[in-house]
Amino acid sequence: MSIIRYNPMWDPFAEMEEMLNRRAFSPAMDVYETDKAVVVESPLAGINPDDVKITVEKGVLTIQGESKKEHEVDEKNYYRKEVRSGAFFRQVALPAPVVEDKVSAEFEDGVLKITCPKAPASVSKQINVKVVKKAKK
């Protein structure tokens, strides 16, 4: 059995994070609010909309999917390789209550736009306090 020399600069967590980043990515998002909805836009150029799954549950929007790319020939002599492929996943807490079953999504010019209609504001109900006196024995 060989002995491996300790390297104080080696970080196993950084190595694991780098490995995960090579296989998956997190798409950028713009989240903004209008009078009637919370809108989320995410550039997903080159991704087939059929490979994207969107869910909203308990005020959290989830976008996940996969960017499929044909296997590359290893013989290419890349100078730079920055175009990612593989799975992607992103969650964001919505800043306002929304009607989850009325959320809609459209894909135009490589940008995914998700519109989440705001839930009607709940009206507080005033409750009158009834004063009860104990009967004396």
Q: Compute the distance between CA of residue 109 and CA of residue 13 in angstroms, rounded to an integer.
A: 37
pLDDT in tens, 6-25: 666 667 777 666 666 555 67
**Which strands, in side-by-side order, build the sheet including 24-25?**
24-25, 86-93, 60-67, 52-57
**Is 32 a domain residue?**
yes
Q: Compute the distance between CA of residue 88 and CA of residue 24 in angstroms, rounded to an integer.
A: 5
**Is 63 a domain residue?**
yes
The tally of domains found in the chain comes to 1
62: domain CATH number is 2.60.40.790
pLDDT in tens, 103-132: 999 999 999 999 999 998 877 888 899 999
More confident residue, 51 or 70: 51
Contact 23, 86 (CB under 8 A): yes
**Is 106 a domain residue?**
yes
**Is 131 a domain residue?**
no
Residue 30 β-bridge partners: 41
Q: Compute the distance between CA of residue 122 and CA of residue 41 in angstroms, rounded to an integer.
A: 27
Q: Which domain holds residue 85?
A: 28-69+81-117
**Is 36 a domain residue?**
yes
Give the pLDDT confidence score for residue 118 in this predicted structure.
95
**Is 60 a domain residue?**
yes
**Is 128 a domain residue?**
no
Give the pLDDT confidence score for residue 123 in this predicted structure.
78
Which residues lie closer than 8 Å to 45 by C-beta, 6 or more apart?
110, 111
Give the single-character DSSP code of 98.
B
